[in-house]
Amino acid sequence: MAQFSQPARAGRFTFRSTFNPAFRPTFHPVFHPLTFALLCAWAPAYAATPADAPAEADAAPVAVVKIEGSKTEDEFVAKRSGSATKTDTPLIETPQSISVIPAERLQLQGAQTLRQTLNYTAGLVSASFDSRGDSITSRGGSPTSLVDGLQYNFGFYNTTRPDPFMLERVEVLRGPSSVLYGQGSVGGVVNYVTKKPLAERRREVQVQVGSHDRKQVGVDLNEVLDDAGQWRLRVVAIGRDSGSQVDHVADDRKVLMPSLTWAPDADTSLTLHALRQQDESGSLIGFFPWQGTLLPSQYGQIPTGTFTGEPGWDAYKTDQTSFGWQFSHHFSDNLVLRQNARKSNSEVDYRSAYTSFTAIPSRNRPARPVFNADNRTIERDLIQQANALDTLLFDTQLEAKFATGSWQHTFLAGFDVQRAETRQATGRGTAAALDVYNPVYGNFTAPASLAHQPTAVLHQKGFYVQEQAKFDERWVGVLGWRRDHAENDIEGRPASRTDDKANTKRIGLLYLADGGLSPYVSYAESFLPLGGVDAYNNPFKPQRGKQWEAGIKWQPAAAVTASLALYQLRDQNRKTTDPANPQNSLQLGEVKVRGAELETAGGVRGWDWTAAYTYTDARVSRSNGADLGKRVSGIPKHNVSAWLSRGFSVGGVDGFTAGAGVRYLGTSWDGTDSLETPSATLVDALLAYQTGSWRFALNAVNLADKVQITTCIARGDCFYGQRRTVMLTARYLW
């Protein structure tokens, strides 16, 4: 078998055709019912940013709003975004549904994970509480994760996840978005924008303690290195030592994220950025059976802290190193060249013993998680994986602005390239049955060796053009087209090679009416290569998404935004069973999704709020299987969220803030309309005090400590949500 390796260096491992069963990446220790008030208000903005205040280099600006009675220094309401068009465009002029969550909102709501950053955003649903990834759905699909505008995830269980402390903001673009970002599902994109050097000195130290013996220190240092302000340095570092709500599972993290900006003049900027991140965790998900979670069991509900793995062996350890740059040069006021690039390597040691899905005919045991005859023990399967991902990504854009008569044009042309190589070695073992009500560990057999799996290499090239035209200061049109070429090669399997070419397009029209209202209509497409071949060695075609959307946005002169979006989309070329050959799949499947999303955010006279309502009807509209006409699993029809916080004084002492949020997640189904996951209402809370450079905050997630079952699926397992988590944060900013 062919061998391949990489130069050995600290924190890395070498792949070969056979693996050392004792393999572990090197990790250095770290600090060991359905109502809501949609709030809208019209009021003057207060204390806008001074005209001479320095702005973040080459970033889409967001409105900085200082709210009366509030002591925060960052913005709560964003009014511009770069994700929807890859140009600096006001949200009110973007004919598509988009949300921007600024850092100030993440801080107020106490986000500890990427999943939590989206808790109060319309249309986004997290399906489970997991250390391996963030299971997020939007409009019936899984949105593509981007970091600084470049795709972050390729495959599964092979990379780290950014920490909220690393982020300036999160931008959510709903619906098909392939015109700008290439391959992706109908769910859209979530772009995590990381901190980059600022044009003014700023330093922050943050210390956190909380539930599950959490201890975290975060440092954010921004320095201007010369008198002219041409050189700027920012270093973000995180050290965390923590347990989790599952017994024997850690949640440790180390991050070092430096970036350096050189801006010799107002026209040119180059930012170099790097990342080294190591996470150490384990199996938070037990794949528990329906009985004992959703359905009654003789011995009651399985405790949410039950660990199905083996202490000391179970692991989910990730190690990532990346380097990249963001470059821009203005040839004139109307012509700018930009390039965004990143090279990344990540490695994962994944070991888990989990509830078995293996059928045992002699015991009438089905091929899904179930209790044994004693109604206490579960059978366990054991797996070990050594996963790795290498990526090289480039996105180069040329933007031109010009006018013709009453028309104002912003023309964008871009070319992006992706190369992603995924490698894996796997092994399986056995573990004794486990009593989930009184676990006893230690009886298992680890894999004797790991077998190399075929390496997969993705090459994708895309060329795109986009025209944004504004007529008579009232009408705004967006027209985009893209050509993609995606090749997937599987080591040793030439018949499985796929070579997909696709055209995608988008069109939108918006009218800027009086009173800050903007009605719009749009059409957008997506494509998602599936890879592989059917039973007759015919390559599978990419899934294709098509969406129509109509909506209205409202942005008065104050720090208030609101939007309503109505949409219908179809996700086509999905695999479905071949009635003539059970071993084959036909691409006749289709999912149809109809929905509505209502969202508002604001900050007026000391009050900050967000509120959202989401309606999603996602059903299988074409299929040869039993799922025809059924609701897509894990997609609630109704979701509601609302957050409200207020700055106030106590005894003449200013600087206090109190806040609370309510999240309602509606019922969902298992994919066959047989098993219903009940709705849940969760409450979050905040109490904070700021004096001078100090800020102290006490955040609680799921304050009532509700045991939430997030979803149960037809294959036989259910998942728990996050239990009550309390965190005390002390922040010093100077």
- At 68 the pLDDT is 29
**122 found inside a domain:** yes
Sheet bearing 150-151, strands edge to edge: 98-102, 167-174, 188-194, 144-147, 150-151
- At 72 the pLDDT is 37
* Mean per-residue pLDDT over the chain, rounded: 87
CB of 231 within 8 A of CB of 225? Answer: yes
102 burial level (CB within 10 Å; 0-12, 13-18, 19+): buried
Which carries the bigger pLDDT value, residue 195 or residue 32?
195
Tokens 């509700």 belong to 706
Helices and strands in the chain, H and E counts = 3, 38
Question: What is the rounded distance in angstroms from the CA atom of residue 177 to the CA atom of residue 591?
Answer: 17
Q: How many domains does the chain have?
A: 1
480-534: per-residue pLDDT in tens? Answer: 999 999 998 888 888 778 888 999 999 999 999 999 999 999 999 999 888 777 7
Closest CA to 484 of 529, 520, 422: 529
Structure confidence at residue 127 as a pLDDT band (50, 70, 90): low
244-290: per-residue pLDDT in tens? Answer: 999 999 999 999 999 999 999 999 999 999 999 999 999 888 899 99
**40 found inside a domain:** no
Least confident of 31-40, 184-193, 291-300: 31-40
- At 75 the pLDDT is 72
Structural domain harbouring 100:
80-733
pLDDT exceeds cutoff 50 at 2:
no
Question: What is the rounded distance in angstroms from the CA atom of residue 596 to the CA atom of residue 610?
Answer: 17
- At 11 the pLDDT is 37
12-43: per-residue pLDDT in tens? Answer: 333 333 334 344 444 443 333 333 333 333 33
pLDDT exceeds cutoff 90 at 226:
yes
**44 found inside a domain:** no
Q: Give the phi and the psi of residue 628 in degrees, each rounded to 5.
A: -60, 125
Amino acid letter, 254: K
Closest CA to 614 of 34, 38, 122, 136: 122
How many CB atoms are located within 10 Å of the residue 331 CB?
A: 11
pLDDT exceeds cutoff 90 at 213:
yes
* CA atoms lying within 13 Å on the CB side of residue 420: 20
Q: Which string of b and e fits 20-39 if b means at least 16 CB within 10 Å?
A: eeeeebebeebeeeeeeeeb
**74 found inside a domain:** no
525-558: per-residue pLDDT in tens? Answer: 999 888 777 777 777 888 999 999 999 999 987 7
CA angle at 379 for the pair 374 and 381, rounded to the nearest 5°: 175
CB of 673 within 8 A of CB of 692? Answer: no
Average pLDDT on 322-346 reads 97
pLDDT exceeds cutoff 90 at 630:
yes
**Which of 151-155, 553-557, 614-618, 648-652 tops mean pLDDT?**
614-618
pLDDT exceeds cutoff 80 at 233:
yes
Which carries the bigger pLDDT value, residue 391 or residue 362?
391
**646 found inside a domain:** yes
Structure confidence at residue 733 as a pLDDT band (50, 70, 90): very high
- At 39 the pLDDT is 32
**37 found inside a domain:** no
pLDDT exceeds cutoff 70 at 355:
yes
558-579: per-residue pLDDT in tens? Answer: 789 999 999 999 999 888 877 7
**13 found inside a domain:** no
pTM of the model: 0.87
Average pLDDT on 109-132 reads 87
**70 found inside a domain:** no
Find the CATH number of the domain harbouring 647: 2.40.170.20
CB of 281 within 8 A of CB of 131? Answer: yes
Closest CA to 48 of 69, 66, 73, 30: 66
pLDDT exceeds cutoff 80 at 430:
yes
Question: What is the rounded distance in angstroms from the CA atom of residue 712 to the CA atom of residue 634?
Answer: 7
- At 538 the pLDDT is 76
The rounded radius of gyration (Å) of the Cα atoms in the chain is: 26
